[in-house]
């Protein structure tokens, strides 16, 4: 019995399973991430909305970024969709610049990609997450 030499899926095949590292690389290639000081300055100037998606135990343990909007990850899309019936008052337009912040900058990348799929094309995430923010000596309460 002959074995078929049919080629398998290629790296460009969207149906091919990828590991999380490859997925993060692919997602992050679609937008420019921001460093802590850049996010701080943008928020201070009113040019960006900081959105903390860390879960409550991490916020209680490590503190909060002053002025950041806390939105649990499982509610993010519903709260920030400008067309959504459950949107927050801050979700004013698809042109809004959103900087998503998780603990170390991994989950926030996937969250930013999800916001892009809703049409929030200026959404990005914080390189290194909350831990990088705190490590940079930026304000925490």
pLDDT in tens, 61-95: 999 999 999 999 999 999 999 999 999 999 999 99
- 4 pLDDT band (50/70/90 cuts)? very low
**Phi/psi of residue 34, nearest 5 degrees:** -120, 150
- In angstroms, the CA 75 to CA 97 distance is 18
* Of 18-22, 76-80, 105-109, minimum mean pLDDT range: 18-22
pLDDT at position 3 is: 46
- In angstroms, the CA 118 to CA 125 distance is 16
The end-to-end CA distance of the chain, in Å, is: 70
pLDDT at position 96 is: 96
Say which CATH number the domain at 93 has. Answer: 3.40.250.10
Average pLDDT over residues 57-61: 98
| 110 has pLDDT over 70 | yes
In a domain, 8, yes or no: no
In a domain, 67, yes or no: yes
How many structural domains compose the chain? 1
How many Cβ atoms are within 10 Å of 110's Cβ, its own excluded? 17
Domain with 117, as residue range(s), is 32-135
In a domain, 3, yes or no: no
Q: Which residues are 100's β-sheet partners?
A: 51, 125
In a domain, 141, yes or no: no
- In angstroms, the CA 84 to CA 16 distance is 32
Residue 52: its H or E element: strand 49-52
Residue 69: its H or E element: strand 69-70
pLDDT at position 14 is: 65
In a domain, 114, yes or no: yes
- 2 pLDDT band (50/70/90 cuts)? very low
In a domain, 121, yes or no: yes
In a domain, 102, yes or no: yes
In a domain, 25, yes or no: no
Q: Which residue has the tokens 């790296």?
A: 11
Strand, helix or coil at 124? strand
């Amino acid at each position: 019995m002959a074995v078929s030499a049919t080629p398998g899926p290629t790296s460009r095949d969207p149906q091919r399973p990828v590991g999380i590292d490859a997925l993060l690389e692919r997602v992050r290639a679609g937008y420019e991430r921001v460093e802590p000081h850049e996010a701080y300055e943008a928020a201070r100037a009113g040019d960006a909305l900081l959105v903390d998606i860390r879960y409550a135990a991490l916020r209680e343990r490590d503190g909060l970024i002053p002025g950041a909007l806390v939105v649990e990850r499982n509610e993010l899309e519903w709260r920030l969709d400008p067309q959504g019936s459950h949107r927050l008052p801050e979700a004013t337009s698809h042109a809004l610049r959103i900087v998503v912040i998780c603990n170390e900058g991994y989950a926030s990348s996937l969250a930013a990609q999800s916001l892009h799929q809703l049409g929030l094309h200026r959404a990005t995430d914080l390189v290194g997450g909350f831990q990088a923010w705190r490590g940079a000596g930026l304000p925490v309460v």
